[in-house]
Structure 1
Amino acid sequence: MYKVGEVVLYGANGVCEITEITTKTIGKISVEYYVLKPVCSDSSTLFVPTHNEQLVSKMRDVLSSDEIKNILSQKTDNEIWIDNKSERCERFKEIIAGGDCKKLVELIRRMHFHSKIQLQKGRRLHMSDERFLKEAEKMVCDEVSIVLNIDRGEVLPLVLAG
């Protein structure tokens, strides 16, 4: 069970702080919730039922500084690209939903590599690919900037250097 004050990654919502654990009663049913505030956005508050295993499984502790540095230092095989758009979208959805930083970094690197190839051909990424890229970048940049205590703008060059 998580505690108030802990910082977690919550799916595509990014890095959040658990600001409280509260109970809300709807009708005769009382449900305990984690109250999450995204660290990089003041605009929303998330309520995650503490006993909902599916939703709680989307929460994970942020990585340590050493874990992030290890992920960023690993090389990525940029040549792997899924040509079938629907298969690619499903795979990207899985990666983003999983929230695994290593897979997200690999996804960002592959997409930037593919984007360069597309630009050389006078093309761009598909709109859906761009959306996935932005979501993956947000998740990684939020976590890396918080853990390494660096500006968000400094993160993407670190990710792409691998």
Structure 2
Amino acid sequence: MFQVNDTVMYGSSGVCRISEICAKKFGGSEVLYYVLKPVYDENSTIYCPVDSPKLKIRQLLSVNEIYRLIQEMPDAQTEWIDNEQQRKEKFSKIVKEGDHRELIKLIRALYFNREEKHRSGKKFYLSDERIMKEAETILHEEFAHVLNIKLEEVVPFIMGELQKQEEARCAQPE
């Protein structure tokens, strides 16, 4: 069980601080709730049942886990789904589940598809843009909070780490 003042990830709501744990009565039974305050949306409050089997609350990644994810990024690939509806369903499920590796694969697939469409003069689907932004927000908020950097510094940080990784790979003798 999490404690008051713990900082956690809550589904696609992002990084939240547990402001209190309280009991609320609904339909004659008392249920224990985490009261969550999203770190990047101070005006919101989320009530999350403590004992829900569908609970989408988890500990934040560690700094080392983030560095490991960044190292794996160049190899992260997912199969593109041509059917827009099937793609939307699959990608929405990935965002909802919040698995970091899957989110990275999704962002990468959408990024390369957007670039390809741009080069060929075609429009990027609005639904794909929305899903990509949602996935990026989830990752960026957690990375920023854990690494103690600003949200707008996350992409340059990742790019810098990937650049260092590439330089180290090129410097190794064959």
Same topology, TM > 0.5: yes
Alpha-carbon separation, structure 1, partners of 2:78 and 2:91: 16
Contact 1:108 1:137 in 2 (8 A): yes
How far apart, CA to CA, are the structure 2 residues paired with 1:79 and 1:149? 30
**What CA distance in whole angstroms lies between the structure 2 residues aligned with 1:117 and 1:78?**
16
Q: What is the aligned partner in structure 2 of residue 2 from structure 1?
A: 2
2-structure distance, mates of 1:84, 1:139: 25
Shift of 1:53: 1.3
- In the other structure, the counterpart of 2:37 is 37
Give the secondary-structure state (helix, strand or coil) at the position aligned to 2:41. coil
Alignment of 1:1-150 (within 5 A): 1-26=1-26, 28-54=28-54, 56=55, 58-74=56-72, 75-78=74-77, 80-150=79-149
TM-score (norm 1): 0.91
Q: Do 2:78 and 2:105's aligned partners in 1 also have CA atoms closer than 8 Å?
A: no
Q: Give a deviation string over 1:97-129, Cα, whole Å, max 9, x none.
A: 111122112211221111111100112321110
Q: State which drifts further: 79-88 or 101-110.
A: 79-88
Using the alignment, how far apart are the partners of 1:46 and 1:95 within structure 2? 21
Give 1:15's aligned amino acid.
V
Local SS of the residue matching 1:21: strand
- Checking the alignment, whether the CA contact within 8 Å between 2:11 and 2:98 is kept in structure 1 is yes
Aligned AA for 1:123? K
**Match of residue 153 from structure 1:** 152
Map Cα deviations across residues 125-160 of structure 1 (whole Å, 9 max, x no partner).
211101101100110110000001111112124446
Unaligned regions of 5+ residues in structure 2, if any? 163-174
**In structure 2, do the counterparts of structure 1 residues 79 and 157 end up closer, same or farther at CA, with 3 Å as the change threshold?**
farther
**Post-superposition offset of 1:20:** 0.6
* Distance change (3 Å), C-alpha of 1:132 and 1:159: farther
The count of residues paired between Structure 1 and Structure 2 equals: 160
Taking a change above 3 Å as real, the CA distance of residues 96 and 159 of structure 1, as seen in their structure-2 partners, is farther
Asked which structure has the greater RCO (Cα within 8 Å, sep 6+), the reply is 1
Q: Percent identity?
A: 39
Q: Which amino acid aligns with 2:147?
A: L
Deviation at 1:39, TM superposition (A): 0.6
SS in 1 for 2:30: strand
Equivalent residue letter for 2:30? S
| Amino acid paired to 2:16 | C
Structure 1 gaps of 5+ residues are: none
